[in-house]
């Protein structure tokens, strides 16, 4: 038995944090006993179908039953019995969440390749609804930076909820399992494994067809994620259909953040289809929703609306409006912790300078943004920044700077793994510089080709 697996003093301290947290400590002691004693373990294995009932008694690992349709009179009166019942409910839910957070923390200390083994071999730990929800939320937040880790987090959810699959399982389990599958597919998409992601969504839709979920929020979430896959596959008609469906589901349940996320994706789609007016409308709608919410939301989500509007305004030649918009939200950019946000702001400010023909300032800002994107591994964005920088040098008539940019460009990006249509676009740029055939319209076309050739677009928020 490893020392770190023993029930430590802090476990007893945690059990004092709420009256119902004793179930968490009992579960640790039970797990420890099974690990130490082969005879106890053999008897536990004999329980089979009775395990769920026992685990429920060890702190309520299963979900609470649905509340009655009618509220008892004492709960309306605020009586002592009502207050006691509410306190017990809060204490029990706090205990469940405490245990889930401890399980989640324990997984965080374990190497990724050992997660499944740890969960599968556990006898009574890592088996709760709150833990499954924590895993899905962590998957959502991790996917931009580490899609492989996000995929593995999503793959743990079916193991964590394995106890729900028998006859008479809780009614909420299918929706949670469907969410996990959708986020697993989304992680595959971000990793560039588009065919695998599509296969997961096809199988998920087939299962939902056989057993409808009846949860509009989850259906909206799944449709929104599948829309991102369609965008990555350049199936824009289907993207529009999935986003409209997602918006309908979110609006039906009053999920305003969900609607805002869909509007941001619709704005990004408008940008990809070169419909800047549509992009401005969608991003403005999302911004209004996020601003109107009572509680603070994900700042990055709001930054996405500013980015989308500023880019579309520049596309329309409304550079003064774009400059005012960026200036009004500088504090938001500075407060956002996403690593690429500062580089994105620098790029947008450079686009404004470009529109006002401030060539030197634009070229310097695009160069800085490109270096930052390359350092973050966003190679396609870095290449697009170089083409923007070239437009600034072309406007200023600085042919030497253009030759400097174009010289090693193809070889550098090929060495970093940029190939296919993107490599062809960079070849065309270099050939145009050498042949003195470069123009602003050609640079815009090459930027669009680069953007279309990226393996998969990262999801906003």
C-alpha distances out from residue 307 to 146, 171, 301, 347, 380, Å: 23, 40, 10, 10, 17
Question: DSSP string covering 242-301, please?
Answer: HHHHHHHHHHHTT-HHHHHHHHHHHHHHHHHTT-HHHHHHHHHHHHHHHHH-SS---HHH
- What local confidence, expressed as pLDDT, does residue 427 receive? 87
Q: How much is the average pLDDT of 377-390?
A: 90
- What local confidence, expressed as pLDDT, does residue 131 receive? 84
CB 110 within 8 A of CB 117: no
Average pLDDT, the chain: 81
- What local confidence, expressed as pLDDT, does residue 18 receive? 44
Return d(Cα 323, Cα 351) in angstroms, integer: 9
- What local confidence, expressed as pLDDT, does residue 420 receive? 78
- What local confidence, expressed as pLDDT, does residue 2 receive? 43
> Which residues does 217 contact at the CB level (< 8 Å), separation at least 6?
249, 250, 253, 255, 258
Q: Can you say whether the dihedral through the CA atoms of 398, 399, 402, 407 is positive or negative?
A: negative
At residue 380, does pLDDT exceed 70?
yes
C-alpha distances out from residue 290 to 156, 256, 295, 310, Å: 32, 8, 9, 17
Cα end-to-end span (Å), the chain: 43
Taking the mean position of all CA atoms in its chain, how far away is CA 43?
43
Least confident of 142-151, 199-208, 222-231, 387-396: 142-151
Provide the pLDDT confidence category of residue 62 given band limits of 50, 70 and 90: very low
Q: What is the dihedral of CA 254, 259, 260, 265, to 10 degrees?
A: 170
- What local confidence, expressed as pLDDT, does residue 67 receive? 39
At residue 73, does pLDDT exceed 70?
no
How many of the other CB atoms lie within 10 Å of CB of 67?
A: 9
Structure letter (DSSP) for residue 458: P
CB 232 within 8 A of CB 194: yes
Higher pLDDT, 279 or 99: 279
Q: Can you say whether the dihedral through the CA atoms of 33, 37, 43, 48 is positive or negative?
A: positive
* Percent of the chain surpassing pLDDT 70: 75
Structure letter (DSSP) for residue 407: T
* Percent of the chain surpassing pLDDT 90: 42
Q: How much is the average pLDDT of 299-326?
A: 96
At residue 103, does pLDDT exceed 90?
no
Helix, strand, coil % over all residues of the chain, rounded to 5: 75, 0, 25
Higher pLDDT, 430 or 16: 430
CB 34 within 8 A of CB 41: yes
Q: Which tokens go with 91?
A: 């204490």
Q: How much is the average pLDDT of 401-420?
A: 81
Provide the pLDDT confidence category of residue 337 given band limits of 50, 70 and 90: confident
Least confident of 6-15, 142-151, 327-336: 6-15
Nearest to 249 by CA among 210, 208, 200, 280: 208
Please tell me whether residue 21 adopts helix, strand or coil conformation.
helix
- What local confidence, expressed as pLDDT, does residue 281 receive? 96
At residue 93, does pLDDT exceed 50?
no
At residue 27, does pLDDT exceed 70?
no
Least confident of 64-68, 336-340, 449-453: 64-68
Return d(Cα 66, Cα 55) in angstroms, integer: 19
Is the pTM for the entire model greater than 0.85? no
Higher pLDDT, 402 or 57: 402
Question: DSSP string covering 104-116, please?
Answer: HHHHHTS-GGGHH
Structure letter (DSSP) for residue 459: P
Return d(Cα 270, Cα 278) in angstroms, integer: 6
Most confidently modeled of 20-29, 75-84, 175-184, 409-418? 175-184
Return d(Cα 264, Cα 289) in angstroms, integer: 11
Higher pLDDT, 366 or 169: 366
Q: How much is the average pLDDT of 388-412?
A: 89
What are φ and ψ of residue 229, in 5° steps?
-65, -45
Most confidently modeled of 15-19, 37-41, 147-151, 222-226? 222-226
At residue 70, does pLDDT exceed 50?
no
Query: Can you tell me which residue has the tokens 């002691």?
Result: 29
At residue 232, does pLDDT exceed 70?
yes
At residue 72, does pLDDT exceed 60?
no
Return d(Cα 426, Cα 387) in angstroms, integer: 9
Q: Can you say whether the dihedral through the CA atoms of 49, 51, 54, 59 is positive or negative?
A: negative
Provide the pLDDT confidence category of residue 8 given band limits of 50, 70 and 90: low
At residue 231, does pLDDT exceed 60?
yes
């Amino acid at each position: 038995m490893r020392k770190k697996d023993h029930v430590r003093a802090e476990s007893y301290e945690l059990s004092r944090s709420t009256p119902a947290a004793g179930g968490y400590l009992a579960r640790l002691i039970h797990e420890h006993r099974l690990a130490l004693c082969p005879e106890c373990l053999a008897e536990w294995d004999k329980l089979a179908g009775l395990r769920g009932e026992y685990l429920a008694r060890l702190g309520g690992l299963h979900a609470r039953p649905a509340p009655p349709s009618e509220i008892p009179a004492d709960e309306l009166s605020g009586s002592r019995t009502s207050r006691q019942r509410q306190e017990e409910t809060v204490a029990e839910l706090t205990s469940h969440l405490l245990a889930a957070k401890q399980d989640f923390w324990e997984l965080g200390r374990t190497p990724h390749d050992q997660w499944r083994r740890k969960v599968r071999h556990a006898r009574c730990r890592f088996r709760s609804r709150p833990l499954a929800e924590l895993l899905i939320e962590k998957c959502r937040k991790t996917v931009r930076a580490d899609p492989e880790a996000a995929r593995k987090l999503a793959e743990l959810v079916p193991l964590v909820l394995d106890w729900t699959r028998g006859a008479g399982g809780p009614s909420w389990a299918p929706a949670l399992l469907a969410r996990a599958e959708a986020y697993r597919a989304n992680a595959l998409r971000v990793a560039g494994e588009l065919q695998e992601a599509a296969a997961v969504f096809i199988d998920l839709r087939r299962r939902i067809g056989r057993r409808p979920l009846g949860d509009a929020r989850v259906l909206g979430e799944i449709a929104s994620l599948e829309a991102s896959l369609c965008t990555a596959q350049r199936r824009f008609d289907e993207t529009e259909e999935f986003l409209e469906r997602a918006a309908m589901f979110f609006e039906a349940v009053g999920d305003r953040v969900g609607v805002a996320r869909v509007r941001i994706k619709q704005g990004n789609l408008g940008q990809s289809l070169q419909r800047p007016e549509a992009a401005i409308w969608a991003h403005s709608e999302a911004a209004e929703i996020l601003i109107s919410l009572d509680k603070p939301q994900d700042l990055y989500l709001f930054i996405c609306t500013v980015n989308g509007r500023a880019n579309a305004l520049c596309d329309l030649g409304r550079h003064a409006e774009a400059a005012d918009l960026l200036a009004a939200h500088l504090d938001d950019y500075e407060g956002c912790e996403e690593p690429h946000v500062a580089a994105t702001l620098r790029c947008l400010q450079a686009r404004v300078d470009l529109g006002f023909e401030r060539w030197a300032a634009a070229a310097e800002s695009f160069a800085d943004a490109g270096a930052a994107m390359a350092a973050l591994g966003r190679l396609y964005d870095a290449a697009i920044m170089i083409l923007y920088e070239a437009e600034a040098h072309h406007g200023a008539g600085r042919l030497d700077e253009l030759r400097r940019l174009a010289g090693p460009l193809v070889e550098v990006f090929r060495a970093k793994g940029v190939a296919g249509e993107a490599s062809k676009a960079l070849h065309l740029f270099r050939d145009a510089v050498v042949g003195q055939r470069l123009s602003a319209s050609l640079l815009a076309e090459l930027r669009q080709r680069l953007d279309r050739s990226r393996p998969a677009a990262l999801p906003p928020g």
